[in-house]
Copies of this chain bind each other. A is one copy, B any other.
Amino acid sequence: MSDAGAPALAAVDWGTSSLRVWLLDAGGAVLAERRSGEGMQTARETGFSAVLERLLADLGAPAGLPAIVCGMAGARQGWVEAPYADVPCTLTEIFDRAVPVENAGRVVRIVPGLAQRDRASPDVIRGEETQIAGAVGGLGAGRHILCMPGTHSKWVEVEESRVLGFATWMTGELFNVLSTHSILAHSIGEAAKEAAAEKEAFRDGLSLGLEQADRLTSLLFGIRAGTLLHGLRPAAAAARLSGLLMGAEIAGAKRRYLGAGGSVALVASGVLADLYRDALTLAGLGVGTVDADEAVRAGLVRAARVNGFLPGSS
């Protein structure tokens, strides 16, 4: 690996509301990092190229350093649309379809998302395809089920570097929307951020969600009733909501992908990783954790190799 330690790639994860940029050397090691709130929604106004060039200048990136980008920058309303690759497909096929962007002085390519077009379960991914590529590198051969929690949790079925299919659960978004805009806002108030500390209420909700996912929209109202009848505290109400939604997600995904048992690769970081590890274990599943930040970086390196931005095989 010649020139180790010198910047060889700018790796960019460009989400809806934030972005992260890393300077990596030819071996994929992190030399520097910047995080910014200029996600797709902001960059649409201020200009994607201007945002990226300013962050790279801050990082002291050399002129002409190639950049590989994943995430919402490739959405229709993003920088340049990177049309979805259809599943099933291999990770190499995905990265082969990275779309070049007109950008003075620097080669930039954007990784496409994934589309599952069958009418019974249409679904899309944008950004997680790169995390998947990074995560499966460490999982060995065979079939794997990945759980990637977040605003829109993704469960993904992969086999031998091939993405077979996936499904989205709106867990994180439902937590935010219900705790803010529904009658449950009266129960939760300002306590949504305290949910993770209320272990018992979280586990109560989780057990109910796992056991009775088919009446989730009734269990949700039980939070309101708990406030009125049993003095359920706001932080406990938030934890119960989180547990119910997470339990329903895991119950549904387990039935779809795992049957009675099995193992999942949990791709997550921080508090979310802790919560899901507990929840998956309570659901009777084996859990191996892959750090989500490391996974996206490893995936971007893999994408860069497929695109000839870095030496080495993909």
**Residues in A179-233 with C-beta less than 8 Å from chain B:** 180-183, 212-218, 220-222, 224-226, 228-230
Which residues of B sit under 8 angstroms from A305, Cβ to Cβ? none
Instruction: Identify whether the interface residues of A are mostly helix, strand, loop, or mixed.
Output: helix
Instruction: Report the Cα distance A167→B214, complex, angstroms.
Output: 14
B124 lies within 8 A of A214 (CB): no
Tell me if A173 counts as interface (CB < 8 A to partner B). Answer: yes
Instruction: Report the Cα distance A265→B69, complex, angstroms.
Output: 57
B171 lies within 8 A of A217 (CB): yes
Instruction: Report the Cα distance A251→B173, complex, angstroms.
Output: 24
Tell me if A54 counts as interface (CB < 8 A to partner B). Answer: no
B182 lies within 8 A of A214 (CB): no
| Copies of chain A in the complex | 2
B170 lies within 8 A of A124 (CB): no
B214 lies within 8 A of A251 (CB): yes
User: Among the listed B122, B177, B213, which residue makes an inter-chain contact with A178, where contact means beta carbons less than 8 Å apart?
Assistant: B177
Which residues of B sit under 8 angstroms from A220, Cβ to Cβ? 170
**Residues in A247-263 with C-beta less than 8 Å from chain B:** 248-249, 251-253, 255-256
Which residues of B sit under 8 angstroms from A225, Cβ to Cβ? 115-116, 122-124, 168
A180 to chain B: closest residue by CB = B181
Known: A177-B178, A182-B177, A215-B252. A221 touches B115 (CB 8 A): no
Instruction: Report the Cα distance A118→B116, complex, angstroms.
Output: 43
User: Among the listed B122, B181, B183, B215, which residue makes an inter-chain contact with A181, where contact means beta carbons less than 8 Å apart?
Assistant: B181
Instruction: Report the Cα distance A264→B119, complex, angstroms.
Output: 32
B216 lies within 8 A of A122 (CB): no
Tell me if A174 counts as interface (CB < 8 A to partner B). Answer: yes
In addition to A119-B230, A213-B215, A216-B217, 12 A-B residue pairs with Cβ atoms within 8 Å of each other are: A122-B229, A123-B221, A124-B224, A124-B225, A168-B225, A169-B218, A170-B217, A174-B217, A215-B255, A215-B256, A216-B248, A216-B252
The list of the 3 closest CB pairs from A to B, nearest first, reads: A215-B252, A213-B214, A122-B225
